[in-house]
Amino acid sequence: MSFEFQGMLYDSESKWYRAIAESWLWAGGWNDRADIIGFLDTMTPDDLARECRDGWWADEEEDAPDLDDLTAMFADLARNRAWLTA
């Protein structure tokens, strides 16, 4: 099963959630590392996930990410920040 986000296919649900969360944080290049660290330090994973899903999907959309799974991915990205230095 493939998962699609912004025209890209992901071979696992976990990679799909990561792509969504990272894309939200980077905002298409508008945010830099310092901005993202600020968001991760001041916003809860639940707030980030809710803002992301509400910004990109309507509540009734079938392909909208699960809020709990998206929250878990934002929590993982906040906890393990090595991806910000890559």
pLDDT, tens digit, 9 for 90 and up, residues 37-74? 999 999 999 999 999 999 999 877 788 999 999 999 99
- pLDDT score of 58: 82
Tokens 């969504």, residue? 20
Whole-number Cα distances in Å, 10 to 18, 62, 69, 70: 10, 18, 16, 15
| Res. 1 pLDDT band, cuts 50 70 90 | confident
Q: What angle do CA 55, 57, 63 make, to 5 degrees?
A: 150
- pLDDT score of 15: 96
Residue 68: CB atoms within 10 Å: 9
Average pLDDT over residues 19-43: 96
* 61 or 27, greater pLDDT: 27
Backbone angles phi and psi of 8, in degrees to 5: -110, 145
